[in-house]
Structure 1
Amino acid sequence: MPIPQESPSIDRRLLRDDVYRRLRDAIVDGSLMPGEQLRDVELAEWLGVSRTPVREALLRLGEAGLVHAQPGRSTTVSALNARDLREACEVVASMHQLAVRAAVGNLTEANLETMRQANDRFRAALDAGDVEAALRADDELHDVPVLVAANRALTTVLEQFSPVVRRAERLRFSSLSGRASIARHDELIRLCAAGDVDGAAEVAFGTWRTLSSFGND
Structure 2
Amino acid sequence: MEEQEAKRPRGSGWKDIYTTLRNEILALVLQPGQLLDEMTLAERFDMSRSPVREALIRLASDDLVVTLANRSTIVAPIEVATFPKYVEALDIAQRMNTRLAAALRTDADLKVISKRSKEFEAAVKTGNHLAMSEANKRFHMAIAEAGRNPYLASFYERLLSQGQRMLHLHFEYLERTHEGYLLTDEHQLMLDAIKAKDVDRADDLAHAHTRQFQKNFIEFMRENYTTDVTLRPLSAAE
TM-score w.r.t. length of structure 1: 0.72
RCO greater where, 1 or 2, for CA within 8 Å and sep 6 or more? Answer: 1
Equivalent residue in structure 2 for 1:199, among 193, 201, 216: 201
Asked whether 1:172 is paired with 2:170, we answer yes
Identity of aligned residues (%): 28
- Identify the residue that residue 186 of structure 1 maps to in structure 2: 188
Deviations 1:30-76 (A, max 9, x none): 23123321112323444455545544554564565533443116332
- Identify the residue that residue 75 of structure 2 maps to in structure 1: 77
1:76-155 → structure 2 map (5 Å cutoff): 76-127=74-125, 129-155=127-153
- Equivalent position SS for 2:32: coil
Cα distance, 1:133–1:74 mapped onto 2, change above 3 Å = closer
Amino acid at match of 1:194: A
CA distance in 1, matches of 2:130, 2:160: 16
Structure 1 gaps of 5+ residues are 1-8
CA distance in 1, matches of 2:183, 2:41: 36
Aligned residue pairs total 207
CA distance in 2, matches of 1:153, 1:18: 29
Amino acid at match of 1:66: L
Amino acid at match of 1:95: A
1:203-214 → structure 2 map (5 Å cutoff): 203-213=205-215, 214=217
2:90 touches 2:159 (CA, 8 Å); kept in 1? yes
1:188 touches 1:203 (CA, 8 Å); kept in 2? yes
Q: How far off is 1:153 after superposition? A: 3.0
CA distance in 1, matches of 2:15, 2:167: 23
CA distance in 1, matches of 2:39, 2:157: 26
Q: How far off is 1:192 after superposition? A: 0.9
CA distance in 1, matches of 2:34, 2:51: 20
2:106 touches 2:146 (CA, 8 Å); kept in 1? no
2:99 touches 2:203 (CA, 8 Å); kept in 1? yes
